[in-house]
Structure 1
Amino acid sequence: MTQVSVERAVSSEPRVVLSARGIRKDFGGFSAVRNVDLDVHHARVHALIGPNGAGKTTVFNLLTKFLQPTAGTILLMGQDITRTPPDKVARLGLVRSFQISAVFPHLSVLDNVRVALQRPNNLAHQFWRPVSALDTLNRRADELLGLVGLTKERDRLAADLSYGRKRVLEIATTLALDPKVLLLDEPLAGMGQEDITVVANLIREVAKTRAVLMVEHNLSVVADLCHFVTVLQRGEILAEGDYETVSRDPRVRIAYMGTEEA
């Protein structure tokens, strides 16, 4: 390969938008996460997997600053956010969902998205403005509902949606914040197969224009959807690479199944 072709190959690699080096979190004398390094790339889906208690949600909480690391460094698009508070991190473009669906049950589907749109449109603190001011957000809200397949449910109360549809609505509200990096904590948990297919396709579409880091236990979805996989065990990285690579690692098989057998 010539010098020029090597440079082109390097330049075509997706850029790192979220990076962690040596992050550790101690609770008293217990280290829940130790020496974790991560690179999350633009336009890629990166899975964080591992058995229960491996430290996946703790890593999420560290990256989004709901927890402060005991040691290590976290960079968002090259900016050090290690000690940045979570609200500012979100405004910088690092947005997450949670294991438990977080929607306003007594608001309509449309109003849930409009609430989320207030911050990027500088309406969040303008409480003196009439409610009709939110009508300016309807076009973008309808675009987001169309993207996630909730147009027909636009005027329904969020409380009346199925569990899977509520999770889809939650993704719409996170997208309303226009994230550059989207962290999804078990987005498919508790869903039926129909909703799993819908949400997996949605994540694939979303990742065309931003980075996605997800904690997920459904390994068939991880195999089909994710470009890169990091496996945690007891708070440390056990293996990493594409799904085919990590699934063949005997240490991963032992961690998940207690045996090296396929």
Structure 2
Amino acid sequence: MTQEFVLETRGLTKEFRGFTAVDDVNLKVREGHIHALIGPNGAGKTTVFNLLTKFLPPTRGEILYRGKPITGMRANDIARLGLVRSFQISAVFAHMTALENVRVALQRRLGTSFHFWKSERSLEPLNDQALALLDQVGLKDYADVLTVEMPYGRKRALEVATTLALDPAVMLLDEPTQGMGAEDVDRIVELIRRVSEGRTVLMVEHNLSVVSRLCDRITVLARGSILAEGDYAAVSTDPRVREAYMGSEAGETEEAGA
């Protein structure tokens, strides 16, 4: 039944002047699962994310959230429904503190982001909630640190905190461990596992070690189409998946997960 799936696509297709980036993708994300989109470079993973969150309009196909069509909705309305995404590049404010970044996200949820005439003191009631979110992602000691001065892995954790501030039902994480060393990767894996409790996560991820440790289900894309689906054991032994990765990032990913 459709109600089993919090997020679903039917025949989702995106064409750019004759080039098909996403081709007839039928994705089904179960409520409460951590679901990964993987595939070689250029497979269409981030384009799928952009379609789901309305940063791009589809050429054809349908997107459903909790069984209801959302294909024609705007990006901000999608976020209000509870579908909130992060990006490959950290999207926090570099010259604001960690606390201020989370507070801005809380303001957005309250609908007061553009109340410029109010003094900063009016935002103080949000401080306790912002500190609680920072504590949740292991950043309470960084509350007063400017984001530009924070290590890269901590910035990505801060981005998770700002995403949580919007109270998402579905978190869409675009390559959350990209560019990280092993210690930061381990920290982010535990963070995602912790914050996924009570919500659904859909993530694009290159590091197969991360996927194997976190994900309930995996969808493999190749040339814009779904190549394989299943749990990690099934997908990692699928000859088609091995062939798709061969000569691309498969070796790099295995080394990253070693």
TM over 0.5: yes
Q: Which ranges in structure 1 are unaligned for 5 or more consecutive residues?
A: 1-9
Aligned pair partner of 2:217 in 221, 228, 232:
228
Partner Cα separation in structure 1 for residue 111 and residue 74 of structure 2: 20
1:84 pairs, out of 48, 73, 84, with 73
1:57-206 matches, cutoff 5 A? 57-206=46-195
* Aligned-residue offset at 1:258: 5.2
TM-score of the two chains, using structure 1 as the length reference: 0.91
Q: CA RMSD in A?
A: 1.6
After superposition, what is the alpha-carbon deviation per residue over 1:105-145, rounded to whole angstroms, capped at 9, x for unaligned? 10011000000000222322333222111111111101110
- SS of residue matched to 1:142: helix
> Judging changes above 3 Å, is the alpha-carbon distance between structure 1 residues 23 and 166 closer, same or farther for their aligned structure 2 residues?
same
The CA distance in 2 between the partners of 1:117 and 1:203, in whole Å, is 20
SS at match of 1:47: strand
Quick one: distance in 1 between partners of 2:47 and 2:81? Answer: 21
CA distance in 1 between counterparts of 2:92 and 2:65 reads: 27
Conservation of the 8 A alpha-carbon contact between 1:64 and 1:94: yes
User: Counterpart of 2:47 in structure 1: which amino acid?
Assistant: T
Question: Displacement, 1:30?
Answer: 1.0
Note if 1:19 corresponds to 2:8: yes
Which structure has the bigger radius of gyration? 1
Q: Distance in 1 between the 2:95 and 2:190 partners? A: 28
Taking the aligned partners of 2:160 and 2:110, their CA distance within structure 1 comes to: 18
Cα distance between partner residues in 2 of 1:113 and 1:127: 17
SS in 2 for 1:120: helix
Q: Contact conserved, 1:184 with 1:212, CA < 8 A, in 2?
A: yes
Q: Secondary structure at the match of 2:116?
A: coil
The residue number in structure 2 matching 1:34 is 23
Percent identity over the alignment? 60
Corresponding residue for 2:251?
A: none
Report the Cα distance in structure 2 between the residues aligned to 1:73 and 1:235, rounded to whole angstroms: 16
User: Aligned residue pairs: how many?
Assistant: 248
Q: Does 1:208 align with 2:197?
A: yes
- Report the alpha carbon displacement of residue 82 of structure 1 after superposing the two structures with TM: 0.4
